[in-house]
Structure 1
């Protein structure tokens, strides 16, 4: 199994959920994750893909820590088809939770706007 096979499955599964798995490169910055997964309603997740048995390099681990410190989820070693499926299961649940939070936030905002409109 090659990394490109794992990557192809990830891209296909993300697309099936309605998202995009962009190849992520940052010229001049070493160690960035392989893919930036963008889902509807603003969910963004970084994914590092590896061939089975391979592990992230130290500069990649450092970059993962930087991104996590900024609040982004980073999956640091998706190295099998089963790991892709596990990630997709997590991503689907994460998107459902984010959607519920977004809906509740928009509802609160609309209530606030209505309150302001009635106060005038």
Structure 2
């Protein structure tokens, strides 16, 4: 039986993928004391463009508050997506270039 990777493992691969494409990346900690609830897991910045990436395990979906936060960020002109793999993140980030 194949086990799906842990979310933190996917996050690490997504961040490495973004860095390899020349993006500055930061892991957010949405919901921690003093932070905004529902922020996507990864903030990537390149050439003045902010891209937010929510990472989920395959078969899992963002929560209602996460979807609300994604719509809010998009309303300010940010690119936002949900991915389940580093390959998904690569396609998203390449589409922004």
Q: TM-score range by the shorter chain?
A: 0.7 to 0.9
Distance (whole Å) between structure 2 residues aligned to residue 73 and residue 36 of structure 1: 10
Q: Larger helix proportion, structure 1 or 2?
A: 1
2:38 paired residue number = 31
Structure with max Cα Rg: 1
**Structure 2 residue ranges without an equivalent (≥5):** none
For the structure 1 residues 58 and 23, does the alpha-carbon distance in structure 2 shift closer, same or farther, using more than 3 Å as the test?
same
Q: Which has the higher contact order (CA 8 A, sep 6+)?
A: 2
- After superposition, the CA RMSD in angstroms is 1.6
TM-score, L = length of structure 2 = 0.81
**Structure 1 residue ranges without an equivalent (≥5):** 96-120
TM-score, L = length of structure 1 = 0.67
Distance (whole Å) between structure 2 residues aligned to residue 13 and residue 46 of structure 1: 14
Q: List 4+ stretches of structure 1 deviating above 4 A.
A: none
2:8 paired residue number = 4
Distance (whole Å) between structure 1 residues aligned to residue 63 and residue 26 of structure 2: 21
1:107 paired residue number = none
Equivalent position SS for 1:10 = helix
Q: Larger strand proportion, structure 1 or 2?
A: 2
Please tell me whether residue 66 in structure 1 is matched to residue 72 in structure 2.
yes
Distance (whole Å) between structure 1 residues aligned to residue 24 and residue 93 of structure 2: 12
Please tell me whether residue 19 in structure 1 is matched to residue 23 in structure 2.
yes
Shift of 1:87: 2.7
